[in-house]
Structures are given as structure tokens and as C-alpha cells.
Amino acid sequence: MHFVFDTDPATPAIPITFVTKTTCTEVLAALPPFARHFAQASGFVARPGQWLMLPGDDGAIDSVLFGLEDELAKRDLFRPGQLPDLLPPGTYRFANAPHDARLATLAFALGSYQFSRYRKAEARDVRLVPPEGVDIADITRMADAATLARDLINTPANDMGPAELESAARDLAQRYGAEFTCITGDELVAQNFPLIHAVGMASPRAPRLIDFTWGHASHPRVTLVGKGVVFDTGGLDLKPSSAMLIMKKDMGGAANVLALAMMVMDAKLPVRLRVLIPAVENAVAGNAFRPLDIFKSRKGSTVEIGNTDAEGRLVLADALAYADEDKPDILIDMGTLTGAARVALGPDLPPFYTNDETLAGDVGTFAAQENDPLWRLPLWAPYDTWLDSKVADINNAPSGGFAGSITCALFLQRFVEPTTRWLHVDIYGWTPSAKPARPEGGECQAARAIYRLLSQRYA
């Protein structure tokens, strides 16, 4: 059970009453006269996120009022995630139902996250008695997975290189009894992963392909591929310094794939899970891969390098081709891939791509259900010719600058067989400014929605 939950408090839990502007008059009228006058004198009008502690006769906290949105279209179902940051130490309970009790409980857990590896965090010791009817094991599973993803992303690249990412994946695999292997350094060339090797060869920290499997071989095959670029300088097509500031998050696809794998294994879903993570550092050195270099991919097609800063799709291409050889029932990849996706949809709404209409509908349904937003963009076939090269089979970065997220997805599609049920998600993996239940920094995106999809499809 997540540390923020307390099912057997030593003292009575303090009630939190959720209030909207519509219900405010009714809620205040039901309070004892002293508490009602205190709330009115304090100016409590149930603005979203507004809160007020009401004292009892002995001066201790008797209850808490917390404002929520009224309008359906404006509701933030994670608004209760603000509470762990606001409340003084103690154990609390929901006195009435928020808009969604399950998501409010999850938000409370997500909002309690603190990254304390390098600086001692101020102890909060704010606990919640879970509401009746909420599957607290499932909530804990999702909260713990989000903590894993956030911790990995928030860790700077000096402490989160390819070897450290391998270690984190190995620890997770061992925890659940998965079979773990890793191909490292020049062995990538020997075993036909030339694109992964090319991107990572300029770094003194050897590139690698992390690979683990879990579950019974007879179960449906679910394969997850995560982009693990631990730091992206842009390579010889060097990023400006401003664009490099949060490039420690460029392994966010790997972090979120590990979070998703953790949920699948912890829930003991009846699937044969495979996780592939190409872990590299895109560095600058005399042996760095160059613009207009040409490499033969694992798939056999030749790739011209249009831009060394479009490296994520290169490492995913080899990993996807390898994953596809196993003929999985579903193949899912995640990566922090394009600024174009952020321009189109912002940091909070990752686009996803698939040609499977049933899968697309399910992704949209569960993204909404889990408050883990995703938005479908098209694999627009007419743009596929933009990837043409005059000297190779394909160019990794077409000129022109249009539809960058779509052309990235089309590039990756070249490395997956048309018959494969494939889902590609172009995540950001970062919260630029804090929101309820989403502190600034590394973020778990798409993993909860896909976990729910898999649990419904295969449980």
C-alpha cells in the first residue's frame, strides 16, 4: 500500500468536505454556527483549489473545506492532488464524494510525490483513509509506477547513464522474476543493431539494448519499446543551450515503459510481456555520426541521416524491427520524440498513432477514464514521400519542418510489419509548471491509460 494511505488510523481522521460554488451555500448552512461564521469571515466561496481548515471547540482542526470546479467541461479530476501540499500533518478522509472518488484518491497519492535524492525534502506526513469501494491496491500500483517514472526522469544524466538505466530495468525485472539480458557496446554491431550503435558510439558510456521478458509463453504477447536517450546534445546538429536544459528527460519513453511494465507485472496480467529499451547518450566527439551518413538498419533498409538530432527514431527503429520479429499480439512504443508534438498539442496532451481503429478507440476511452490524456493524430500516408532519400531508402529527418510528429511516426512505421497491431505515443514526459497531482519535473504519461487498456483486454 502506498505510504500516503492509512486504513487503520490511530486517531479519528479529519473530514475533507468538497464544495463547489453551487453547493457552497448549502454546505455552509449545514455547519455549526461558529464554523459557518468562521468560513464566511474567512471569505470561503469554494473557488477551485480554495481550502479552509475549520477549528473545533478545542482549537484543533475539526474539518477541511476544499473547492472544486462546477462546470463539467472545466473540471480537473486531479484537483484533490493539491491537498498533500496544503494540509498540515495528520490523517484525513473524504467526508463527501468528489467528482470521481477513485481519481481523487489517485490524485492524492500522486500529489504526495517528492524528489529527494539530492536535497532533503520537508516531511509532510499527510495521510488519507481510502474511500470505501476504491481498489486501493490498483491505486497504489499506479502511484508507485508514477514514482518510478518520475524518479528516473528527474535523475540527472551524470547519475542516469545507459548503465544506470540498465540497472534500474534489471532491478525491476528481478523484483518480478523476469528474464533479463542486455547487449552492450560493439556487440550491438555484431548482433545487427547498427542504428542504436551509431547514435550512442560517440559517448564514453557504451550504448546498449535492454531486453527482459515476463509471464507465461502461452499468453498473448505484449511488447513495449521505450526510447532511452539518457541525454541528447543533438549530436553534431547541436541543440542550443536552452533546448538542452531538460534533455535529461529524453529517456522519458524508457521510464514510462518501465512504469507500464511494473503495473502489468504487479497486477499479474495474463500476458507474455517483453520490454525493449535502446539506452544511449547522443554525445559529440570525433567519432560521432554525421549528417548525410548512411547506415543499414536491422530491418535491412538504408537510412540517410538528415539530422543527428532526430536520433530517437533511429534507436527505436532497430528496437521496433527486433520486437516485430517476435510477432507480438500488440506492439507499443513510447518516446520523447518531437518538439512538433508539443507545438501542436502542448506538454500535457501526447499524440498517439495507430492504424488499428479498435485499438485507437480503446486508447481514447481509457485515456479519458484514467485522466491520462492522449489525442490521436493520423499516419497520413501522403506525407510518407517526404521521407524519401536520393541516395538511401529513407531519410530520418525530412526538410521543410512541417508535420514533424507525423513524419516521425511514419518513419517508425517503416520498421513495423503492416499486419502488426502497433501503437506509437510521442510523449513529453515532463510537467513544466506544477499542477494538481503533477509536480514540476518528470512525469508519467500514457502509462496508466495503456495499463488500463491492457488490463481490460487481457485480464
- Closest CA relative to residue 447, chosen from 144, 124, 59: 144
122-144 pLDDT, tens per residue?
A: 878 999 999 999 999 999 999 99
Does the pLDDT value for residue 401 go beyond 90?
no
Average pLDDT over residues 277-281: 99
CA 52 to CA 124: how far, in whole Å?
18
**Cα→Cα distances 79→31, 70, 112, 140, 434, Å:** 23, 12, 13, 18, 12
Does the pLDDT value for residue 459 go beyond 90?
no
Average pLDDT over residues 13-18: 98
Give the pLDDT confidence score for residue 2 in this predicted structure: 86
Mean model confidence pLDDT for the chain: 97
Sort strands 51-55 and 61-67 into parallel, antiparallel or unpaired.
antiparallel
Give the pLDDT confidence score for residue 400 in this predicted structure: 85
168-189 pLDDT, tens per residue?
A: 999 999 999 999 999 999 999 9
Average pLDDT over residues 270-297: 98
- CB of 174 within 8 A of CB of 195? no
27-80 pLDDT, tens per residue?
A: 999 999 999 999 999 999 999 999 999 999 888 999 999 999 999 889 999 999
Give the pLDDT confidence score for residue 223 in this predicted structure: 99
Query: For residue 225, what are the β-bridge partners?
Result: 276, 333
Outline where DSSP puts E strands in 343-439. Answer: 351-353, 375-376, 394-395, 422-426, 430-431
Quick check: pTM over 0.95? yes
Does the pLDDT value for residue 163 go beyond 90?
yes
Does the pLDDT value for residue 90 go beyond 90?
yes
Contacts with 132 (C-beta within 8 Å, 6 or more apart), sequence order: none
Grid cell at residue 448: 496508466
Domains of the chain and CATH, by start: 14-134 (3.40.220.10), 140-458 (3.40.630.10)
Average pLDDT over residues 403-408: 98
106-122 pLDDT, tens per residue?
A: 999 999 999 999 998 88
Give the pLDDT confidence score for residue 265 in this predicted structure: 98
Share of the chain above pLDDT 90, in %: 95
**Cα→Cα distances 54→41, 43, 343, 401, Å:** 12, 13, 44, 56
Q: Which residues are the active-site residues?
A: 239, 313
Average pLDDT over residues 85-105: 97
Q: Cβ atoms within 10 A of the Cβ of 431, count?
A: 19
CA 264 to CA 266: how far, in whole Å?
6
